[in-house]
Structure 1
C-alpha cells in the first residue's frame, strides 16, 4: 500500500537538539512512525532555503529571520512573508493527501485555503490560541472594521477546515460554540516530554552555580514579552526581599527583558539567566521547586496551552499561575499548583508558605505533577491521538473490539 503524504506546516518547527517548543516534531514523527509520508514546511534564520531529511521527515526550511524581541509590526511582516513562501512551497509538493497547518498566527490558515482551493487537498487546522480575540483583548486592532474582517477570516478558516485541533479544552469549546459543525473540533493538548524532563534530587553543583543552595527556588522560563507581564514576579521578589530562603530565577529573552532588569536593580534575590537551550533548562529545573507561569490579565489568555506548564509537569514541579483559566483549574484540582493574584504579592507567599514549612507537601505536589504528565500529556499518548484523526478506522476497530 502506498503511504499517504501529509504536509505539516508550522513556522517555528524545532527538533529536540535545537530546543524550544518541539510539539510539532513529536507529532510529525508520530505520523511518520505510523506509516505516513510527512513533509514539514517551516522557517529558519539562515539566508537560503534548505531541505533536510530528519529522522524520516522531509523538512523544508524557508529563509525568514525572526526573533522574540521583534515588535508588533515586524512580527506581522514576518508572519505574512512566511504565509506567502509556505504557500509557494506547499503547492509545489506533489501527491499530497492532507495538509496540517498549525497556528499561531491565524494567518497560516491562508496556507490551508490555498491547498484546498488550488490543489483540492483538505486541511486540518491546529489552533494554539484564540486569535484575533487575544490581541484584540490586549488592545491591538482597535479599528472595528478591521476586527470584523479578522473575525471573518477566522470563521472562514474554521469553516473550510476538514478538522480543527484545539490545544486546550477551552479553545475546543469556544470554537465548537461558534461553528456549525462542532463534531469536527478536537482537543490535543501540548506535550509533556516525560523522557527528557524527570524529577531528580537537586544537584549540589548546580545549586552552587546559581548560588541557591538550601533555598526554595521559584523559576520563570520562556519568552520575556508584554504578554507574560513579568512585572508581577518582580513585585513578588521585591515583596519577599527579606525572605533569604526564597530565590527567583528568570530564564528567557524578549522585548521586555531590558526594562525588567532595570526594574529589578537592587534585588539580590533575582537572577536573569538569559536564553537557555533545552539541556540548560533541564539543569535549571533540577534546582527549581516552583515554576511560575505569568500572563496579562486578559480572559482569552486563560484559554491557551503554555508549553512551559507541560515542561514543569514533566519535571515534577509545583506550578503557580497568575491567571484564571482551564490550566489553573487543572493544577488546583490535581494538587500540583495554585493561583496567585498578580496584583497582590502577599497572596503568593501566603499560599506558598505551607510548602516552605512542610517538605512532604511539596514532594507530594511533585508526584502529582509528574503523574499528571505521564497519564494525560505524554508524547506517546498525544501522538497516537493525532494519528487516529488521520486514521479514523483505528477508532472504529477499537470500538468494535470493546463491544465484542
Structure 2
C-alpha cells in the first residue's frame, strides 16, 4: 500500500509516529510523511532547519514532505495557537501540490486537531480514506491542559472536531475510555476502533550498566522520564518527596527530561530542601532510556486530577511496561487501571501526595524478589497488549478491511 502519514510532529522530533512509520516501511509499504519543520520543545527550529529550507528530505527510505510553520517559541497560549494554525495553513497548501497516488491517509493527532485540515484536503484530492488516530481528545484536552475555559472558544473547537471526525473514514483511539466521548461527538460507533500506542523495539528489559549507574545517585531510585509540564503534576511529586524525606533519606527521585515547569521545580527543590534527594538530570536521547530505566528501582508516571486525563493512557506507560520495571503511579482512571490489572506496580490517586509517599515507602520495603516479580508482570502485560509487531499487524488489518 501507499500510505501517507499526516502529522505536525515527526523525526527528528521524538514521537511514537516515527517508529510506526518505520514499522510500516519495514513491512514493504511505501510510506511518505507530510509534516512540519521540527521545533517541538525548542524556542525555534531545530538545528539546520528554517522556515524556508528543507522542504523535503528522506529518512530511512521514507520521503518526508515538510511544511513551513511558525515555531512554538515559549509554548505560551498565543504562540501555540499561531503554531497550530500556521501548520494547518501551510500544510494544506503543501498537500494540494503533493504528487503521486495514495491508498491510505493516516493522521497522527497528539494535538492539535487542526492536523485534520490538510488531511481532509488530501482525501478530496487523492480520493483516499482517512484513518484518524486520536491521541488527545479535543476540545477537552485544551481545557484541561491548556487552561482555555471560554465557552465560545470551546464550542467552536468542538464543532471543528466533530466536522473532522465526521469526514474521517475511521477514528482510531489510543484508550478504550475515549470511545464514549467520541461517540457523544456524533461519530458512528462502527467507525471507532481501539488502537493503542506501542513503543520502539529498543524498549526492553536490560541489565544495569556501570556507566549509567555512575551517572545516578546512590540509593533507592524512583525515576521519571518525560515532559516536566503542567499536566505531569510536579506539585504532588515534590510534596510527596518532602514527606518521604522525613522518613527515609535513602530514597532518591531522578527526573529525566525537560519542560515548561522545570524552573518551578528547581525553585521548589530549594524551598523544600530536597537538593540531596531530588535530581533533575536533563534531557537524553530516547535510545538511552532503557539503560537508565535498568538502573531504577521503580518508574514514576503522573498526571493531574482531571476527567480527561483519567481517560488517557500516558504514552510513557507502554515504555515502562516494555522495560519490565515496577511502576509507581499518581494516576486516576485508565492508566491506573492498566497498572493494577497487569499487577505491574502501585497506584496512588492523582494529587494525593500523602498517599503517593505511602506507596513509595511500600515499594522501598519490598524485597528484591518481589520487585523482580512485579517487573516481570509488567513485561508480560506489554507483550500481550502493546507489543509492536502485534499492533502493526492490527493496523494492516484495519487498512485492508476498508478496501
| Fold conserved between structures, TM > 0.5 | yes
| 1:240 alignment partner in structure 2 | 244
Mapped to 2, the partners of 1:146 and 1:189 lie a distance apart of 29
Q: Distance in 2 between matches of 1:353 and 1:53?
A: 49
- Give the ranges of 4+ consecutive aligned residues of structure 1 lying more than 6 Å apart after TM superposition: none
- 1:236·1:345 contact (CA, 8 Å) conserved in 2? yes
1:89 maps to: 94
SS in 2 for 1:169: coil
The residue number in structure 1 matching 2:225 is: 221
**Alignment partner, residue 379 of structure 1:** 388
CA displacement at 1:172 relative to structure 2 = 3.0
**1:175 and 2:182 matched:** yes
CA gap of 1:389–1:199, structure 2 versus 1, over 3 A, is same
Q: Of the candidates 198, 204, 208, which is equivalent to residue 198 of structure 1?
A: 204
Distance in 2, Cα, partners of 1:319 & 1:96: 41
Is contact 2:244–2:361 with CA below 8 Å preserved after alignment? Answer: no
**C-alpha distance in 2 between matches for 1:271 and 1:375:** 34
**What are the superposed Cα offsets for residues 119-165 of structure 1, whole Å, 9 maximum, x if unpaired?**
54332111101111122245733222222211111111111101111
Query: Does the aligned pair in 1 maintain the 2:173–2:179 contact within 8 Å?
Result: yes
Match of residue 38, structure 1, among 31, 36, 61:
31
Distance 1:56 1:392, change over 3 A: farther
Contact 1:30 1:384 in 2 (8 A): no
1:273 and 2:281 are equivalent in the alignment? yes
Task: Give the 3 Å change call, closer, same or farther, for CA 68–333 of structure 1 in structure 2.
Answer: farther
The match for 1:254 is: 259
Structure 2 contact 106–132 (Cα < 8 Å) conserved: yes
Q: Deviations over 1:1-21 (max 9, x none)?
A: xxx42210112112xxx5722
User: CA 1:360 to 1:67, structure 2 compared with 1: closer, same or farther past 3 Å?
Assistant: farther
Structure 1 residues 339 and 57, CA gap change in structure 2 (3 angstroms): same
Matched residue SS, 1:99? strand
* Distance across 1 between alignment mates of 2:331 and 2:10: 28
Q: Gaps spanning 5+ residues in structure 1: where? A: 395-404
User: What secondary structure does 2:203 align onto?
Assistant: coil
Q: Which moved more, 1:320-329 or 1:339-348?
A: 339-348
* 8 A Cα contact 2:116 2:164, kept in partner: yes
Indicate how the Cα distance of structure 1 residues 138 and 202 shifts in structure 2: closer, same or farther if over 3 A, else same: closer
Question: Structure 1 residues 270, 106: closer, same or farther in 2, change over 3 A?
Answer: same
SS at match of 1:223: coil
The answer (yes or no) to whether the contact 1:124–1:163 under 8 Å persists in 2 is yes
1:19-55 deviation line (CA, Å, top 9, x unaligned)? 722x212322333334432210122231113422223
2:373 corresponding residue in structure 1: 364
Change (3 A) 1:291 1:69: farther
Q: Which residue of 1 aligns with 2:135?
A: 128
Count the aligned residue pairs: 384
Aligned partners of 2:173 and 2:192 also within 8 Å: yes
Q: Residue 52 and residue 343 in structure 1: after superposition, are their counterparts in 2 closer, same or farther (change >3 A)? A: closer
- With normalisation by structure 2, the TM-score equals 0.88
Partner residue in 1 for 2:42? none
Partner of 2:41: none
1:199–1:286 CA contact under 8 A, matched in 2:
yes
**Which of 307, 310, 317 pairs up with 2:318?**
310
Could you list the runs of 5+ residues in structure 2 that have no partner in the other structure?
39-44
- Aligned counterpart, 1:400: none
Q: Matches of 2:205 and 2:146 in 1, distance apart? A: 40
TM-score (norm 1): 0.88
